[in-house]
Structure 1
Amino acid sequence: MRDYAKERPEHAEKYVGENDLFLEIFHAYGASRQSVRPPLLFVHGAFTGSWMWSKYIPHFMSAGWKSYCVNLRGHYKSRSVDFTKILFEDYLEDIRLVISEIVEECGTPPIVIGFSMGGILSQKLAESVQIAGLVLIDSSICREVHAEAPYRDLAFRMPGLVVPAPARDEQISVDETFEDIEFQRKYLSMESAKAFSAFSFHFGSEGISIKGEMIACPSLVICAINDESDEHRGRATARHIGSEYLGLWGTTHTGLLVGQRYHEAVSRIMVWLARFDGRPVSDKASSWTARE
């Protein structure tokens, strides 16, 4: 099996806060450009950790972006916790703490890039915490988006004390090779049922409410699209927060990060990030938003 996590460039590591959150820091190549650039903070999804960004990180380092990858409490190399007690709000506090660490170290708030559960966490945090920008990659949807573009024919599942790791029994997917899936299978772990039940409509949740008008930073929504309902939800998410939007047809949820077409998402993010080169990061300026 090819372990992409072990192929990442050399980087710094440290533990943050009373829950010993494992934080990985990837310093940029060509660091002279960093004087005008905010750092990036990558927030993983449920069952995963910073290892899920293994294919992404080298591209951003090469393009001159300093990158931080957080591991929420109990995930990957963060200290083990009792997952039966962890709440959605606990994960919010983890990200808030790491943003404070980044601001203290870099003197500026980061651009937050959140995947799946990390996306809904990042949206909620962006209502009240200053960040330079927000990128959502196949984010879990909020209550308001579900009201506009609901999931149909859900088979509700009752969570146990914890949610077990996805089995990933398939050998390949439409955009993932056997190696891509084996890599995930090695690292996927259990998740907090209480945190998952707060936002997952598959578990009968009412969803997390997001006040889109309170998210003032520039934003980008990228979604895996396989049918018109996926497209409807993706565009609804972008409209809700006034974001630019990219739907990638024929891709999968995890494939956007570790699959064979992950570079398409990376390329779009790079184009979007160009606005931060030498320009004020507080302006919500873009040539096109999903509201238009």
Structure 2
Amino acid sequence: MVASQKLVGNIPIAATSVLAKDTTAAKNIVFIHMSWGGMWAFDYYIKFFVQAGYNAHALDLRGHGKSGGSVSGATMQDYVDDIRTVIIELRIQNTIIIGHSMGGLIALMYSAQYGSLATVSLDGSPTLEAQETSERKKYPASYTPQDSGMPTNPIKAMFMLPDIYPWCLMKMKKKLKTESGVARSERKKGVSVPKERLKQPLLFIGAEKGISLPFGIGIEKARIQANYYGAPVIEIKGATHPGLLIGKYWKDSAKAILSWLRENNL
């Protein structure tokens, strides 16, 4: 399993691709990371889905990881544009979009604008249509996980994220950087993605313990979104918000997505 890494576009955007053995028959999955994160968050998923016969692609949004640009001032639409750049430059077709947290909302935005074979939101930030409250507040140009309530004390972090092994938790905390305050303000105010714009199959995944962190999403918000979009929702028992990707139950989530894709002949 060999990863091909490239920098594409003017910013540029860092992207990685891992291809299935039979690339001619394989559909493409593009993974979109959460706030403060990077493509590294989907390492387990990439390996899993390539072994299941899919081509897997992931990117660092601008200002994240190995990508150029800055998170300061970046908008949600900027992040959508980053995905579009990668898909065009790498000539990715037959695309399934999977996003986590902020990336879940970006996945819906992208799919509404450009289409996709299917879209999966993993504990995704809610759209305006599925938000219970709307907040008009201006945040700093950039902010850290600690600014949003990520505990600095390792013991407290392990208590709040019991499904993530301590070594993995410490690794995650080192990798998390800063995020755009502008994009956060937009999410809090509400980003509209009308259901009429989404014609493809949709799936919402919710973590049972998603709200163990102040910035977590969780199963209840996933259910509200699924209800609005008329889509199925799957709860991952025992999983926390970041644990959906790197915790003990990540494979439960990946298997649920794979089963759903196959049910939809994707």
TM-score range relative to shorter protein: 0.7 to 0.9
Alignment of 1:225 with 2:187, yes or no, is no
Give the RMSD, CA atoms, in angstroms: 2.4
Q: Name the CA shift for 1:133/1:180 in 2 (closer, same or farther; >3 Å).
A: same
Post-superposition offset of 1:254: 0.1
* 1:134 alignment partner in structure 2: 119
The answer to which of 234-243 and 179-188 deviates more is 234-243
Gaps of 5+ in 1: 1-8, 200-204, 282-292
Post-superposition offset of 1:226: 3.6
Which residue, 103, 115, 123 being the options, matches 2:108? 123
Q: How many residues align?
A: 253
Q: Name the CA shift for 1:112/1:243 in 2 (closer, same or farther; >3 Å).
A: same
Alignment of 1:11 with 2:3, yes or no, is yes
Q: Name the CA shift for 1:40/1:227 in 2 (closer, same or farther; >3 Å).
A: closer
Q: Name the CA shift for 1:231/1:259 in 2 (closer, same or farther; >3 Å).
A: closer
Aligned 8 A contact 1:41 1:68 in 2 = yes
The SS at the match of 2:80 is helix
Alignment of 1:47 with 2:36, yes or no, is yes
- Structure with the larger strand share: 2
Alignment of 1:214 with 2:197, yes or no, is yes
Aligned 8 A contact 2:208 2:218 in 1 = yes
Q: Name the CA shift for 1:227/1:48 in 2 (closer, same or farther; >3 Å).
A: closer
Aligned 8 A contact 1:36 1:276 in 2 = no
The SS at the match of 1:24 is strand
* 1:163 alignment partner in structure 2: 143
The SS at the match of 1:114 is strand
* 1:236 alignment partner in structure 2: 224
Post-superposition offset of 1:36: 3.9
**What does residue range 140-155 of structure 1 map to in structure 2 within 5 Å?**
140-147=125-132, 150=133
Q: Name the CA shift for 1:21/1:220 in 2 (closer, same or farther; >3 Å).
A: same
Counterpart Cα distance in 1 of 2:191 and 2:138 = 18
Post-superposition offset of 1:168: 4.4
What TM-score comes out, normalization by structure 1 length? 0.79
The SS at the match of 1:266 is helix
Post-superposition offset of 1:100: 2.3
* 2:19 alignment partner in structure 1: 27
Counterpart Cα distance in 1 of 2:20 and 2:171 = 25
Tell which structure's C-alpha radius of gyration is larger: 1
What TM-score comes out, normalization by structure 2 length? 0.87
Q: Name the CA shift for 1:82/1:40 in 2 (closer, same or farther; >3 Å).
A: closer
Q: Name the CA shift for 1:16/1:206 in 2 (closer, same or farther; >3 Å).
A: same
Counterpart Cα distance in 2 of 1:84 and 1:227 = 27
**What does residue range 1-292 of structure 1 map to in structure 2 within 5 Å?**
9-29=1-21, 31=22, 34-79=23-68, 81-102=69-90, 104=91, 106=92, 108-147=93-132, 150=133, 159-166=139-146, 167-169=150-152, 170-171=154-155, 172=158, 173-199=161-187, 205-226=188-209, 230-275=218-263, 277=265
Q: Name the CA shift for 1:272/1:227 in 2 (closer, same or farther; >3 Å).
A: closer
Q: Kindly provide the amino acid, as one letter, of the partner of residue 204 in structure 2.
A: V
Q: Name the CA shift for 1:39/1:276 in 2 (closer, same or farther; >3 Å).
A: farther
Aligned 8 A contact 2:35 2:103 in 1 = yes
Q: Kindly provide the amino acid, as one letter, of the partner of residue 198 in structure 2.
A: I
Q: Kindly provide the amino acid, as one letter, of the partner of residue 58 in structure 1.
A: K
The SS at the match of 1:208 is coil
Q: Kindly provide the amino acid, as one letter, of the partner of residue 117 in structure 1.
A: M
